[in-house]
Amino acid sequence: MLKELQTTAAHAPVPSDQNLLNSLPLAIYTTDAQGRITFFNDAAAAFAGRQPALGEMWCVTWRLFWPNGAPLPHDQCPMAIALRERRPVRGMEALAERPDGSRVPFMPYPTPLFDENGELIGAINALVDLSDQKHAQAQSAQAQTLAAQYPESAEKQTSMADSVARTQRDFELLVRSVTDYAIFMLDPTGHVSSWNSGAERIKGYRAEEIIGQHFSRFYTQEDQESAVPQRALTTALHEGRFETEGWRVRKDGTRFWANTVIDPVWDTGRLVGFVKVTRDATTRRNAELALFESERRFRGIVNTALDAFAQIDESGRITEWNPQAQELFGWPREQVLGKPLATLCFPSGDTAAPEWLASAWQEKQLRQTHPFTAMTRSGRRFTAELNASVLTLASGPLMNIFMRDLTEKIQMEAQLRQSQKMEALGQLTGGIAHDFNNILQAISSSLEVLEIISRREQLSTGQRHIHNALSSVRRAAGLTHRLLAFARRQALDPQAVDVGVLIAGMSELLRHSIGEQITLELVLPNELWTAHCDANQLENAILNLAINARDAMPRGGRLRIEASNVYGDDPSGFNVLDPGSCYVKIVVADSGTGMPSDVKERAFDPFYTTKPVGQGTGLGLSMVYGFTRQSGGHCAIESELGEGTRIILLLPRYVGPVEPRVEPMAAIGSPAASGEHILLVEDQEVIRGVITEVLNKLGYVVTQASDGLEGLSIAMAGETFDLIITDIGLPGVSGRSLADTVRSRRPEVPVLLITGYDPSAMHASPSLPAGMALLSKPFNVETLSEQVRQLIEWRHAQREPGSA
């Protein structure tokens, strides 16, 4: 029946079972959640002394007073308290004044009603008329006295007692019919004395099974051991009420989450027991826990997201804001909630992002956007990417927005494009320089042989022209060396270099190069690491940078060269180096004119220069860039127009023992060639022929091979050679492989490597061991002769007794 009353209270029509309720002599009425009447039976109308109207407040049908006659305010009446505090109200007496002015004492039993989701839908109230009870109590003594004298008075008293009994039975009938609440009485010691149908449904015990049993059996074992049931009765007794929630146990041993209220029951100042009302709140608790877990998962996902997250309502105001958003934009969460997203995160006057968000509201689906301009709390603007989706909820739609700072991505893409461009240019220039060097070698060698012949035969007529041609060849060779440096294909001799000592040793040269109007500052700490690079190329790079800085300061200024140690994961490492490695950082900074952005982007390009025609080749910075990259490091420019320029070199740290380089001892006097046997491996026929002719004229015996495989076969055939001269870039077996193979079997045989460029020089080359040397094309006869002499002298030294 209570379910029918709940449905009535929620939907306002009169209960379908009116006859049953109207047949009860107990006054009963129901209200909605606001206290408006949704039903009343005939006994309730008779009790009120008027016919109330559905929809009005019951308490306005009469005036209420406390039992002592003082006015009872509406907000303190039992029904108002039950609805406001969402709990049953018991043990409260009141006086009601009917429209005719008569007053009736009564005791209300208002009980709030809830739906399956735990939402308040109304209340039911039973009004017990205490007039007869009060009258009976007042005349009890007199009735007993008159009973002996006037038997008819005793009969009348008996009839009155029967009426009260019927009222009590009717009320008990109502209580027993409630199935959504377990309502039962306890005696003063806590033993069950009454049991309704709701208690049987919720707890699983029939009345005959549980009446007389102690109510502590409904508690868990741990609660019983902690004396929770006894404390509940004690609290109710001393405070007038005890209300709590917790686990309770059914007859079958299963647990349910219970909402429990215990009220003491008094009779003329004497405790007669307790009334206990229990409601199964498991469904509500599970729903609350599910909501809590869902919110916690949502919060965990949002707070650990890599991107900044904001949630806004339809008005554009922020309802959620994660730590990443706070870090990105600089606004704390407590300061942004309820404020418009557009005014906090986008520049004023920029409508692109707000218009895009407005279109996302209309489409109500995930949108991925192109970059937008965003703004931090400090006013810094940056490019951001927004992803948005609309979430439809019963309380209204919300929009989830993920925002990502694209600054680093844009920088990385620019670095990648620059790297790809430099790689393409390097491949092009390296290939051209290689072929050009071979051509120059053939020309220069032929011209030098011709010059030697002309000098011997005293033909002075053509010597001037031969000299001019050789000078042009040397200038072209310098150009190809710079191109190979940019292409990272130059022949390097990396070794342990004390950068501080090297730069300090260049101080006088640098001062003469930059002039007196420029101040030179050197910052070289004592604890500087040793770098692994080609010392000669590092000197050339620093000198080139100093000259460029001088040209940027025509009216004088300050040139500062400093060095320091950095790790690969240091932010100053440009995020492009190996995090597990260490580097020596060299900074060449000037106070000159600086570079505009378009010049800075092309500064490392070969042949790019801002100098007038004829005053620069545009290969200075490109050579520095190629040298550092080939050495396993990095090079970067920091410059602003009017703010000067900083060129940063990062060179890998040398790891390992520093061994002194063994130099061949110079022979006294002219070379003493005595028919030493030399193996020459060169695939260019012209070069091979010219070198052979030069060596023959110097007194050496030469065996030729046109490729690496032929040269390796000859070298390993058993014949002993005093020196092997081999080009590195041979088809098939390379010159380096040939040299390594031969020296693994015969370490006493020296090797002279010659190269237009080394294909393996894209990476830093290891230092050459003793007995090996490197000669870059195009080289002159004198340099070739000196290298051959030194290596053959080293070969002779290995044969001497006691030599290593």
| DSSP-assigned letters across all residues of 613-634 | TTS--S-HHHHHHHHHHHTT-E
CA 178 to chain centre: 56
* CA separation for the pair 709, 733 (Å, rounded): 6
Task: Please answer whether residues 617 and 609 qualify as being in contact, where contact means their C-beta atoms are separated by less than 8 angstroms.
Answer: yes
What is the per-residue pLDDT for 668?
39
CA-nearest of 231, 207, 235 to 219 is 231
How far CA 585 is from CA of 71, 442, 533, 554, 647, in Å, comes to 91, 41, 13, 27, 10
Name the token pair of 734.
Answer: 């390379």
What is the per-residue pLDDT for 217?
93
H/E segment holding residue 202: helix 197-203
Q: Which residues contact 789 (CB under 8 A, 6 or more apart)?
A: 667, 671
What is the per-residue pLDDT for 9?
37
What is the per-residue pLDDT for 150?
41
Count other Cβ atoms within 10 Å, centred on residue 380: 11
DSSP state of 216: G
519: alpha, beta or left, given left = phi > 0 and alpha = psi -120 to 50? beta
Burial class of residue 476 (count of CB atoms within 10 Å of its CB; 0-12, 13-18, 19+): middle
CA-nearest of 482, 306, 296, 489 to 387 is 306
How far CA 563 is from CA of 32, 432, 645, in Å, comes to 83, 35, 16
Name the token pair of 236.
Answer: 């109710």
Question: How many Cα neighbours within 13 Å face the side chain of 128?
Answer: 22
* CA separation for the pair 620, 547 (Å, rounded): 9
Task: Please answer whether residues 150 and 156 qualify as being in contact, where contact means their C-beta atoms are separated by less than 8 angstroms.
Answer: no
Name the token pair of 263.
Answer: 């009220």
Average pLDDT for consecutive 10-residue bins of the chain (804 residues)? 38 43 72 88 85 81 81 86 89 85 86 85 85 58 45 49 50 57 90 90 91 93 92 91 92 92 87 90 81 70 79 89 91 91 87 83 68 88 86 81 84 69 60 62 66 62 58 59 49 80 88 88 91 86 87 90 86 63 92 83 65 49 80 86 89 75 43 79 85 87 90 85 89 87 90 71 58 82 87 83 48
How far CA 530 is from CA of 242, 543, 587, 658, in Å, comes to 80, 20, 16, 9
Name the token pair of 206.
Answer: 């029939």
Angle at 270 between CA 267 and CA 276, to 5 degrees: 70
- Provide the pairing of β-strand 381-391 with 398-405: antiparallel
* CA separation for the pair 255, 220 (Å, rounded): 8
* CA separation for the pair 715, 724 (Å, rounded): 8
Q: Which residues contact 451 (CB under 8 A, 6 or more apart)?
A: 463, 466, 467, 470
Task: Please answer whether residues 468 and 739 qualify as being in contact, where contact means their C-beta atoms are separated by less than 8 angstroms.
Answer: no
* CA separation for the pair 606, 626 (Å, rounded): 10
What is the per-residue pLDDT for 232?
93
* CA separation for the pair 503, 514 (Å, rounded): 15
Positions of E strands within 87-146: 94-97, 103-108, 111-114, 120-129
Count other Cβ atoms within 10 Å, centred on residue 94: 19
pTM over the 0.75 mark? no
Count other Cβ atoms within 10 Å, centred on residue 370: 9
Q: Which residues contact 366 (CB under 8 A, 6 or more apart)?
A: 387, 388, 389
CA-nearest of 567, 642, 548, 558 to 597 is 642
* CA separation for the pair 681, 690 (Å, rounded): 13
What is the per-residue pLDDT for 297?
72
Residue entry with tokens 């491949």: 427
664: alpha, beta or left, given left = phi > 0 and alpha = psi -120 to 50? beta
What is the per-residue pLDDT for 609?
60
Q: How far apart are the first and last CA of the chain?
A: 113
Question: How many Cα neighbours within 13 Å face the side chain of 376?
Answer: 15
Question: DSSP string covering 552-617, please?
Answer: T-TT-EEEEEEEEEEETTSGGGTT-S-TT-EEEEEEEEE-S----HHHHHHTTSTT---SPTTS--
What is the per-residue pLDDT for 441?
65
* CA separation for the pair 314, 396 (Å, rounded): 8
Burial class of residue 136 (count of CB atoms within 10 Å of its CB; 0-12, 13-18, 19+): middle
* CA separation for the pair 463, 296 (Å, rounded): 92
Residue entry with tokens 């709030």: 112
* CA separation for the pair 753, 759 (Å, rounded): 13
